């Protein structure tokens, strides 16, 4: 078995009650992450519940089958379940906001049935992202808070994904902070080392080297509670403490941190 890259590690063997968030713009990054999360769980005998869009499920199913999983058999046995995120939302919303009792009965019931059959359960959800994209940020945060309650009640691990740009200055001081507040881990890129290097070089360009070193020291002292690449933590620290400098550093990082083009699944 190949060694996991850094971003895959929290998805391979998440601890009970881990609540992991991925920030993505590349659809291939999303489906790679969900497939890795699901496949690792299935191989370990976990029950797996995926709540996503039908378009994403079509790709995930194809990838899992290409890796040797009999998706129909796993679904029939109850180990792997897919729910449409939009339809699931319609069953747990009331007056534009999630209803805790409906959420607990529907999702908690499904999780408990899987837990009784398989012991460990891991789930993936896109419901909060759909709400976020519709502009209902309050409801999106509420969904995550309800998930956090279920995680503690049932001891599951949860993986969420958001279509968001972690190098957009307007995401700081709002959306990204909300995501981190409700998650234990943040996966903002495939390439942690590349992001760290870009933030380090951008900091040195905007500040002199001694000030950049001081910045990194201060950022290490005041790390976010959410686990993330150090470069991302530096950006959070800058936005909190030196917002004008943060904008300049983010602009430099965007130029330096260029993601390689994704490899086609067709070859």
User: Rounded CA gap, 96 and 78, in Å?
Assistant: 31
Q: Are residues 33 and 150 located together in one domain of the fold?
A: yes
111 within domain boundaries: yes
Q: Are residues 171 and 202 located together in one domain of the fold?
A: no
267 within domain boundaries: no
User: Rounded CA gap, 127 and 134, in Å?
Assistant: 11
Range of the domain at 206: 192-256
> How would residue 21 be classed by pLDDT, with cut points 50, 70 and 90?
very high
pLDDT at 259: 58
Contact criterion met (CB below 8 Å) for 123 and 129: no
pLDDT in tens, 83-102: 999 999 999 999 999 999 99
> How would residue 172 be classed by pLDDT, with cut points 50, 70 and 90?
confident
Asked whether the predicted pLDDT for residue 264 surpasses 80, the reply is no
Q: Are residues 200 and 149 located together in one domain of the fold?
A: no
For the domain that residue 108 is a member of, what is the CATH number? Answer: 3.40.50.300
262 within domain boundaries: no
pLDDT in tens, 248-263: 999 999 888 765 444 4
Asked whether the predicted pLDDT for residue 192 surpasses 80, the reply is yes
81 within domain boundaries: yes
Q: Are residues 60 and 128 located together in one domain of the fold?
A: yes
Asked whether the predicted pLDDT for residue 184 surpasses 70, the reply is yes
Q: Of 187, 209, 238, which one is at a domain's C-terminal end?
A: 187
CA nearest neighbour of 160 among 177, 143, 139: 143
| Cβ-proximal residues to 256 (8 Å cutoff; 6+ apart), any chain | 197, 198, 201, 202
- pLDDT (mean) for 200-226: 93
Question: Which pair of structure tokens corresponds to residue 143?
Answer: 């969904």
12 within domain boundaries: yes
Q: Are residues 161 and 33 located together in one domain of the fold?
A: yes
Q: Are residues 99 and 74 located together in one domain of the fold?
A: yes
pLDDT at 258: 61
CA nearest neighbour of 56 among 81, 30, 38: 30
234 within domain boundaries: yes
User: Rounded CA gap, 187 and 12, in Å?
Assistant: 13
> How would residue 174 be classed by pLDDT, with cut points 50, 70 and 90?
confident
In the chain, % of residues over pLDDT 70? 95
pLDDT at 3: 64
Question: Which pair of structure tokens corresponds to residue 132?
Answer: 């976020």
How much is the mean pLDDT over the chain?
Answer: 93
Q: Are residues 89 and 176 located together in one domain of the fold?
A: yes
Q: Are residues 182 and 196 located together in one domain of the fold?
A: no
User: Rounded CA gap, 158 and 21, in Å?
Assistant: 9
Q: Of 144, 162, 187, which one is at a domain's C-terminal end?
A: 187
Q: Are residues 206 and 102 located together in one domain of the fold?
A: no
Q: Are residues 110 and 41 located together in one domain of the fold?
A: yes
User: Rounded CA gap, 228 and 23, in Å?
Assistant: 11
> How would residue 19 be classed by pLDDT, with cut points 50, 70 and 90?
very high
Q: Are residues 211 and 239 located together in one domain of the fold?
A: yes
264 within domain boundaries: no
Q: Are residues 62 and 112 located together in one domain of the fold?
A: yes
* Number of domains the chain is built from: 2
pLDDT in tens, 143-159: 999 999 999 999 999 99
Question: Which pair of structure tokens corresponds to residue 66?
Answer: 């290409």
CA nearest neighbour of 185 among 137, 138, 224, 236: 224
pTM for this one? 0.92
Q: Of 153, 170, 187, which one is at a domain's C-terminal end?
A: 187
């Amino acid at each position: 078995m190949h060694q996991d890259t850094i971003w895959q590690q929290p998805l391979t063997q998440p601890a009970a009650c881990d609540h992991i968030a991925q920030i993505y713009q590349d659809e291939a990054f999303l489906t790679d992450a969900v497939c890795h999360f699901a496949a690792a769980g299935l191989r370990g005998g976990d029950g797996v519940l995926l709540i996503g869009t039908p378009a994403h499920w079509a790709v995930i199913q194809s990838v899992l089958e290409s890796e040797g999983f009999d998706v129909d058999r796993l679904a029939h046995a109850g180990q792997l379940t897919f729910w449409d995120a939009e339809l699931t939302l319609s069953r747990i919303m009331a007056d534009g906001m999630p209803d805790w009792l409906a959420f607990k009965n529907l999702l908690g019931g499904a999780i408990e049935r899987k837990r009784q059959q398989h012991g460990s359960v891991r789930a993936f959800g896109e419901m909060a992202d759909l709400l976020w994209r519709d502009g209902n940020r309050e409801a999106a945060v509420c969904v995550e808070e309800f998930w956090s309650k279920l995680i503690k009640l049932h001891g599951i691990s949860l993986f969420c994904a958001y279509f968001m740009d972690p190098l957009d200055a307007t995401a700081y001081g709002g959306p990204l902070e909300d995501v981190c507040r409700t998650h234990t881990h943040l996966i903002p890129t495939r390439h942690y080392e590349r992001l760290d290097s870009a933030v380090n070089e951008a900091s040195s360009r905007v500040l002199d080297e001694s000030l950049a070193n001081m910045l990194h020291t201060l950022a290490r002292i005041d790390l976010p509670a959410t686990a993330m690449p150090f470069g991302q933590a530096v950006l959070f620290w800058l936005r909190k403490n030196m917002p004008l400098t943060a904008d300049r550093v983010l602009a430099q990082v965007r130029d330096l941190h260029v993601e390689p083009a994704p490899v086609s699944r067709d070859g």
